[in-house]
């Protein structure tokens, strides 16, 4: 950027789309591997393979007002995992946010599968959004002609997490239930809670609700193995109902049969009760299970070795992700 005669920075002016695209291409010219091999935009009405033009209108209400919801699905070995469960939650979130999809559910599903196929990516994840749409810079979306649907494929080599991590108790206030129970794009509290953890040398944080009960992590659920071999989870009335943790609950009875678990239930737990657990873990789609071996200054278990039940639950979920019935094969050409 050059200085003008007054010594101030001179801001370039781009008067044509060609100039803008050429400038944006510079950003991607040095990237060896494209991390986002495909995007869909209902504003454009199609799938985009060139990262240069994977853009969202600046007057989209999701951008400047946070009026949008999103969801995800894992992509492993060419299969989308639990897409239908995530898509159902996505539409429930949209209803709570008063956003009407421009397409019926099956059309949304078809777009996501076609986009993934066009990407040629076979390992990573997809993420998708419903926005109140572009239209103006007002608070109300009444002036937006139509809601917008966006989606992207994220190329990433996910693998099973087996090493334990440290967490802290977050001092960032958690979102009230009306917002916490829908997967909306207002993630500033989540971001700040992770940053707080990283500043203290931890992986992530744990939220505690206004009654002193354990709630959730910044973008994951949390679960515990009690000294009585019970799998315990906080109730979902004030937090997001995680698709992955619900799938874990469906699979976990297999460990009752082997004797690793004696029961599975939801329970209100205080910090002291939760820290007294034998084992502890985060549960989320990109993990799917992340063992926790230290919480603040309290060691979980012996603080070094990941618990047997946690590893068994991780194996159950991972095996379900790579070979279970909740998968959709992507029809690559």
Catalytic site residues? 183
Token pair for 130? 């419903």
DSSP string of 284-305? -TTSSEEEEEEETTEESTTSSS
In the block, residue with structure tokens 């109140």: 132
260 secondary structure, DSSP code: S
Token pair for 175? 């979102």
d(CA 164, CA 147): 42
Which residues pair with residue 81 across a beta bridge? 74, 327
Kindly report each contact of residues 306-310 with a partner whose C-beta sits within 8 Å and lies 24 or more positions away, as own/partner: 306/162, 306/163, 306/164, 306/279, 307/225, 307/278, 307/279, 308/260, 309/225, 309/229, 309/231, 309/255, 309/260, 309/261, 309/278, 309/279, 310/225, 310/279, 310/280, 310/281
The answer to whether 74 touches 81, Cβ cutoff 8 Å, is: yes
* Per-residue exposure over 140-153, b if at least 16 CB sit within 10 Å of its own CB, e if not: ebeebeebbbbbbb
The H-or-E segment that residue 167 falls in is: strand 165-169
DSSP string of 102-141? SS-HHHHHHHHHHHHHHH---EEEEEEEEES-BS-SSSSS
């Amino acid at each position: 950027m050059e200085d003008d005669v007054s010594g101030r920075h001179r801001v370039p002016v781009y008067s044509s789309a060609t100039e803008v695209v050429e400038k944006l291409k510079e950003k991607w010219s040095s990237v060896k591997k494209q991390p986002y091999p495909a995007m869909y935009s209902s504003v454009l009405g199609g799938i985009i393979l060139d990262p240069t033009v994977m853009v969202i209108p600046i007057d989209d209400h999701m951008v400047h007002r946070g009026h949008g919801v999103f969801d995800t699905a894992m992509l492993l070995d060419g299969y989308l995992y639990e897409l239908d469960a995530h898509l159902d939650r996505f539409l429930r979130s949209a209803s709570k946010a008063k956003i009407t999809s421009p397409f019926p559910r099956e059309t949304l599903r078809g777009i996501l599968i076609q986009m993934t196929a066009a990407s040629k990516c076979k390992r990573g994840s997809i993420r998708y959004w419903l926005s109140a749409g572009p239209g103006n810079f007002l608070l109300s979306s009444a002036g937006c002609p139509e809601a917008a649907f966006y989606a992207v494929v994220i190329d990433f080599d996910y693998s099973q997490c087996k090493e334990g991590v440290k967490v802290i108790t977050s001092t960032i206030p958690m979102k009230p239930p009306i917002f916490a129970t829908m997967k909306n794009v207002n993630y500033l509290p989540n971001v700040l809670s992770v940053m707080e953890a990283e500043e203290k040398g931890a992986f992530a944080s744990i939220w505690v609700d206004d009654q002193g009960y354990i709630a959730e992590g910044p973008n994951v659920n949390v679960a515990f193995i009690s000294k009585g071999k019970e799998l315990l989870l906080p109730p979902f009335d004030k937090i997001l109902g995680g698709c992955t943790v619900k799938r874990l609950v469906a699979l976990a009875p297999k460990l009752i049969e082997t004797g690793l678990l004696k029961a599975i239930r939801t329970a209100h737990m205080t910090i002291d009760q939760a820290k007294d657990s034998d084992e502890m873990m985060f549960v989320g789609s990109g993990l799917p299970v992340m063992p926790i071996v230290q919480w603040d200054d309290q060691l979980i278990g012996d603080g070094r070795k990941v618990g047997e039940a946690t590893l068994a639950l991780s194996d159950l979920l991972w095996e379900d992700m790579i070979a279970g019935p909740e998968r959709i094969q992507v029809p690559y050409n």
